[in-house]
Structure 1
Amino acid sequence: MKQHTFGVIGGLGSLAGADLFFKLVRSEPVLAEQDAFHFLFEQHPFRDVRAPLNVTCSMTARKLYVFQMCQSLAQRGVNSILLPCFASHTFREELQSELTVPIVDMMAALRRHVDRIATKGAVLGVVASDFVRRSGLFERYFADRYDIVYPGGLDQAFVMNAIYGEDGVKAGKLEGHAVEHLAHACESLQRQGVEWILPGVTELSLVCQVLQRRGYPVLDGNAIYAEHAVSFTASGPRRVFKLGIVGGVGPAATVDFMDKVVRSTPASRDQDHIKMVVEQNPQIPDRTAHLLHQEADPTVSLYATCKRLESEGASAIAIPCNTAHAFVQDIQPYLAIPIVNMLTETIAFIRSQYGTVRPVGLLATSGTIASGVYHEAAQAAGITLMAPTEPFQERVMSAIYGEHGVKAGYVDGACRESLREAIEHLALAGAKVIILGCTELPLIYEETTAFALANGKSVVLVDPTAVLARHCVGLALPENLPLASETPSECVSASA
C-alpha cells in the first residue's frame, strides 16, 4: 500500500484532538499496515479555544488559525488533513478552495456511517453548540433523508454548560455535572423519538461510552472520523488551477498576456476567472543579449522566478517571452510543475488550423532565431519555418529594440512601418501564415486571419501570446484539473 501521511489539527480542543489521534493509531487498518500510515499531530492551541461557541461568536480568528495550520501541514508534506471541529466544518469549503491538500470531510464521514445503520426517514438527534446548531450544518448533510431535532431550550443550555463550563468536558471533567447535563440532553432527544444521537461537538466522544452505558444511542464521532479517514479511498477534490506567470520579460508583454487570459476566459462573474500569481521581474537578464553576445546568463534568474511561483502554489507556469523558451529545457527538470511551452503550443495550433503544406514565416528576435527553438518545434511537427533575410531581420530588431521600438513604449510610427516591411517580405517569399514570435510584436499588430498586404492579398498573423493564453485557460477547465492527491505535472499537458 502506498504510504499516506495525515495531518491532525489538535489545537481546537486538546482533549478531543488527542482522542481522535488515539483512535486513528488504534484503528484496524493502521494496526494491520503501520508502515503505510504516518501521522503529524499539530497541537498548537487556538487562542480562543475555551470560548463558548454561542450564536453570536465570530469565526474569523478560527478561520485564519485553521488555514495557517493547514498551510503548515501541507508544507510538511501531508496527503490529507483531519479537522476535528464541527464549527470549523461550517467553513471547510472556504478553506479547501485555497488549499491543495484535501481536508477530510468529518460530516461526510458521519453521513456515510449513519446511512449504514439508520432507517430512512429516521429522526436523528444532534448534540451541538449553539453556533453549529444555528449554522444549519447538519440540515445541509442530513435533511434530504432524515429528520433532525435538537434538545429543548433548557436542555440546550445544559449542553453548552457541559462542554464549556468550569466543570465541562473541555476543562477535563469527564464525569459529574458535565455527564449529567449531557444525559439530560440525551433524555430530551429520546422523548422526541430519535433513533440515533449524533455528535455536533467533538468533545462528546470523550464521554460517549459513559452515555452509551446509560442506554443512550450516542455515536462516537471521533471513532467514525478516524475509520473514514484511514479507509478514505477517494482522491480528494479537484485542485483549483493557479497560473504562475514569469513577468517582466518584457513588462508590457506580461500585461498583454494577462489581458488575453482574462479575455479568453468564459466567465460571467469575477469568480469564474483564473487565479494568477505573477512575479514581475524586469531584472532578469536580456535573453537575446546572452544568446547573441554571451552577456549575462538569465538561466538562474528564470529558474529562481519559477521556483518562487512553484512555492506560491502555481499549477503551471507561463513565460510570455518567446526567447526565454531557449532556456526552458534546462530549467524544467528542476521544477515539480510544468512550464507550458508557448512555442510548441503555437506550432501545434498552426498545424491544426492551417496544416503543413506551405512554409510558415517567423518574426522573432535574432536570439530566438539563433537558438533554433522555434525551428526544432516546427520540424518535429513537419512544418517548415522561414525567417527574414538579414536586412529585414534588422527591421524586426529595430521594431523591438530600436530607439522608437516597442520595448521603448512605441507601437506606432517607425516600429510599425519596420514590422510591416518584414511581414510583406515574408509574404512575397511564400509565407501564408506568419508567427509574431516576440511577445512585443502583437502590441504593434494584433493576431488576424486577414492581414492586408500591399498587393491586395492577405496573410494570417498568429500571436503566440494569445495561443498561450487560450491554452492556459483550457488547462483550468474542471475536466483537465488534477485531483488534490495528484501532482500538477501528472495531469497538465507536458508540452514543456
Structure 2
Amino acid sequence: MQSTSAPGRVRKLGIVGGLGSLAGGDLFYKLVKSRAVLEDQGRYHFLFEQHPFKDVLLPLDRKANMTSRKFYVFQVCKSFEDSGVDAVMLPCFASHTFRDEIQQELNIPVLDMLTALRRHVEHLADPGAVLGIVASDYVRHSGLFERYFGDFKLVYPGSDEQAALMHAMYGLNGVKDGNLQGVPLETVYQACLSLQDQGASIVLPGMTELSLVCGDLQRRGIRVLDINEVYAGFATQEEGGSTRPPFKLGIVGGVGPAATVDFMGKVVANTPADRDQEHLKMVVEQNPQIPDRTANLLYEETDPTMAMYATCKRLESAGAHAIAIPCNTAHAFVERIQTHLRVPIVNMLTETVEAIVQQYGAGKTVGLLATSGTIKSQVYHEAARRAGLHIVTPGVDYQALVMDSIYGERGIKAGFTEGICKDQLLIAAEHLCELGADVLILGCTELPLVLRHSEAFEINGHCVALVDPTTQLAKVCVQLAYRT
C-alpha cells in the first residue's frame, strides 16, 4: 500500500515476510483495515518483503537451529533500514527470541510483538491471573513468555496435546499450509480447552498462525487473542516505534592513521565499562587518501573538502549518530561540511577551548602548538576569542621546528615519537612559555603521541599545563553516547 498524501508525517512500516507466509499476509491485511489506517490512509506506507527462506519448513521443535532464521531476518531488516523505513514488524514468535540481537545491529526499531501483547493483556487480566500459552516447542522452552509475563501464572498444554498441536500447525496439511478447518482446527480447539481446564482465563498466542483460526476459536467460546490485530494496533501508535537504537560513533580516520588509533584507544580508556558489551559502537573509515589539509590551506593544493564530506556521508549511511574527526587542521573545513549532514560533527576545537575555561579559568594565555595550516585558518583563535582566552603561537623559526617535528624525515607522521621530533617540540613549547603561556594546546593529533596530557609539565623551569584535544574529544563523545 503506497501513500499518496498525508496531513502529517508519513509513518513507513516494513513487514518481514517469509517466516510464515499466510500469517504474514494476515498481518498485512489487518494493518490495512486497522482503525488508525482507515481514519488516516494517507499517513501510512507499508512495505512487505518476502524472500525464499530455506529453513521455513523445518519444524520449530525444542532444539531448532535459529542461525539461518537470524541471518534472514537481519538481511530483510537491513534492507528496510536502507529504504528509509521508520520501524520493522517481525510477525514470528520464534524470531522474537533473538529480536534483541537483531536490534543491536540496526538503527531503526524492530517493534516488540511481546510488548504489544503484554500491554493488551494488562487491560484484560488482573495481576496473578492464569494465562494459557499456545506456542511451538521452541518458543515454549525458550522462556520467552516467562520473560514478559513472569508475574502471571502461565500454563501450557500437556505433552500429548502439545505434540498434536505441533502436527496440526506445522505438519502436512496443517494450519500453516492453509488448512483452517477439520482436524487441524479441532486439534487446536482441544489444546485451548486443556488450558481452560487448567484455569486459564485468556489464551495467549505463541504462534502467529493462530491468528488464521482465531475467529473460529472465539466463536466456539475460547477467549484467545489475535496477535496480528494486537500487533497491528501497536504498530500504528506513536509509542510503538519508541525503541532507541544503541549509540554509534562515526570516525573519519586516516588524518593521520596513527592519530586515529590513538583516538580510539582514548575513547575506550574514557568509557566507564565493566565488560566488552558496555563500550561504544564505533564505525571507522580509515581514509589516508584524504588530501593533506595543511597543504591546501598553505599552498592551495588539492581541496580535502569533497573527500571529507564523502567519508562523513558513508559514516552517516552506516548508522553513525555523531561523527568525530581526530584531526585539528581538518576542523577548518568542518563548517562547510556540517550543513550538508544529518548528524553532528563533534567539534574538537570548541570542546577543547571550553574545557580549558572550565578547568583553568577565562583570561588565560594559551599557547598553540599546531600545523601552520591550523594556525593560518584561525579556527582555534576564533574559538578562544569567543571564550575569553588569548592565543599565542610560535614565531616563524619556532613554527618551522613544529612543522618539521610533524612532517620531517624523522617526524611523527614518519613513525617517530622520540629523538629530534620530540626535541623540536620541547624547544617550541619552551618558547611559548616565555611568551607567557599558562596552558599549551597540543593542537595536532600527532603531538600527543610525543607529549602526553599533563596538568603540570616542567620545561626548563617553566611549569605549564599540556592539553590534549584528542582526549577531550574522546571524553565528549563518550558523554554524548551516555546522554543519548
Q: Which runs of 5+ in 2 are unaligned?
A: 1-7
Of 438, 447, 457, 1:441 maps to 447
The residue correspondences of 1:204-243 to structure 2 (distance < 5 A) are 204-233=210-239, 236-243=242-249
Contact 2:111 2:240 in 1 (8 A): no
Of 468, 471, 474, 1:466 maps to 471
| 2:363 is aligned with 1:357 | yes
Question: Counterpart in 2 of 1:92?
Answer: 99
Amino acid aligned to 1:226: A
Of 61, 64, 72, 2:79 maps to 72
Cα distance in 2, alignment partners of residues 309 and 429 from structure 1? 42
Amino acid aligned to 1:474: Q
Cα distance in 1, alignment partners of residues 52 and 129 from structure 2? 38
* 1:235 Cα deviation from its structure 2 partner: 5.2
Amino acid aligned to 1:123: V
The residue correspondences of 1:5-404 to structure 2 (distance < 5 A) are 5-144=12-151, 146-233=152-239, 236-404=242-410
* 1:169 Cα deviation from its structure 2 partner: 1.0
* 1:228 Cα deviation from its structure 2 partner: 1.6
Cα distance in 2, alignment partners of residues 36 and 355 from structure 1? 53
Match of 2:126, SS state, is coil
* 1:47 Cα deviation from its structure 2 partner: 2.1
* 1:402 Cα deviation from its structure 2 partner: 1.3
Residues 450-494 of structure 1 deviation map (CA, whole Å, 9 limit, x = unaligned):
11021x2300111111111111111111xx11xxxxxxxxxxxxx
TM-score in terms of structure 2 length: 0.96
Q: Which runs of 5+ in 1 are unaligned?
A: 482-496
Question: Counterpart in 1 of 2:5?
Answer: none
Contact 2:103 2:245 in 1 (8 A): no
Cα distance in 1, alignment partners of residues 404 and 173 from structure 2? 81
Contact 1:124 1:148 in 2 (8 A): yes
Cα distance in 2, alignment partners of residues 307 and 395 from structure 1? 36
Contact 1:358 1:430 in 2 (8 A): no
Amino acid aligned to 2:236: V
* 1:398 Cα deviation from its structure 2 partner: 1.2
Contact 1:56 1:131 in 2 (8 A): yes
* 1:297 Cα deviation from its structure 2 partner: 1.5
Amino acid aligned to 2:294: T
Question: Counterpart in 2 of 1:421?
Answer: 427
Contact 1:167 1:177 in 2 (8 A): no
When the two structures are aligned, how many residues end up with a matched partner?
477
Between 1:113-122 and 1:256-265, the stretch displaced more is: 113-122
Between 1:114-123 and 1:461-470, the stretch displaced more is: 114-123
TM-score in terms of structure 1 length: 0.94
Cα distance in 2, alignment partners of residues 220 and 275 from structure 1? 38
- For the aligned residue pairs, the C-alpha RMSD in angstroms reads 1.2
Residues 273-293 of structure 1 deviation map (CA, whole Å, 9 limit, x = unaligned):
111111111111111111111
Contact 1:243 1:315 in 2 (8 A): yes
Structure 2 vs 1, CA of residues 253 and 391 (structure 1 numbering), >3 Å: closer, same or farther? Answer: same
Structure 2 vs 1, CA of residues 357 and 119 (structure 1 numbering), >3 Å: closer, same or farther? Answer: closer
Cα distance in 2, alignment partners of residues 177 and 133 from structure 1? 23
Contact 1:50 1:170 in 2 (8 A): no
Cα distance in 1, alignment partners of residues 220 and 241 from structure 2? 40
Match of 2:363, SS state, is coil
Cα distance in 2, alignment partners of residues 287 and 393 from structure 1? 17
Between 1:227-236 and 1:66-75, the stretch displaced more is: 227-236
Cα distance in 1, alignment partners of residues 319 and 70 from structure 2? 20
Residues 144-185 of structure 1 deviation map (CA, whole Å, 9 limit, x = unaligned):
1x1111111111111111111111111111111210111121
Residues 255-301 of structure 1 deviation map (CA, whole Å, 9 limit, x = unaligned):
11111111111111111111111111111111111111111211111
Match of 2:389, SS state, is coil
Match of 1:117, SS state, is coil
Cα distance in 2, alignment partners of residues 148 and 431 from structure 1? 71
Residues 313-370 of structure 1 deviation map (CA, whole Å, 9 limit, x = unaligned):
1111111111111111111122111111111111111111112222211110001111
Match of 2:97, SS state, is helix
Contact 2:109 2:244 in 1 (8 A): no
Match of 1:6, SS state, is strand
Match of 1:87, SS state, is helix
Match of 1:38, SS state, is strand
